Amino acid sequence: MKSIIIGNVREEFYDSPIRMFQMAIRLSKQNDFTVRSNNPQFIEALEVLCSEENIIICFQTFHNPSKLIEIDFKRAYNYLGDVYDIINSLRIGMQFDDEIDWDELESEIRTYQNRWGKFE
């Protein structure tokens, strides 16, 4: 079985993007693997190389780390990409010399944590 676990995980692989892609190629040739990663490029490379139908993707919860919830890739990419919404809100809402509204930023982070932290 080929599986990817995202969420409350300790990353297993760190390297440059091209080396991560090479790692994905090596893994895709194996019959079985389990990868714990929140690296969207790495996960997408595995999905493309192995085919979505041949990989199980699970979310490891924050409140109960021993609990894994099987999800689809769309939900996984939503989780992995939601942080970019926070970054983009800063980029769009700020002028060059603006101060960061730290309270607003903390509010957006809490919204993210509530959305995914309670994903049980």
What pLDDT is stored for residue 91 in this prediction? 74
The predicted structure's pLDDT at residue 94: 61
Residue 113 confidence (pLDDT):
80
Residue 118 carries which DSSP code?
Answer: T
For 54-111, what is the HEC assignment? HEEEEEECCCCCCCEEEECHHHHHHHHHHHHHHHHHHHHHCCCCCCCCHHHHHHHHHH
For the chain, 120 residues long, give each residue's pLDDT as a single digit of tens: 999 999 989 887 788 899 999 999 999 999 999 999 999 999 999 999 999 999 999 999 888 878 899 999 999 999 999 888 888 877 776 655 567 778 878 888 888 888 777 665
Helical (H) or strand (E) element with 115 = helix 102-117
Closest CA to 55 of 118, 6, 115: 6
How confident is the model at residue 98, as a pLDDT?
Answer: 66
pLDDT for 42 equals: 95
Question: 38: helix, coil or strand?
Answer: coil
State the pLDDT at residue 31: 96
Which pLDDT does position 2 carry in this prediction?
A: 97
Global confidence as pTM: 0.81
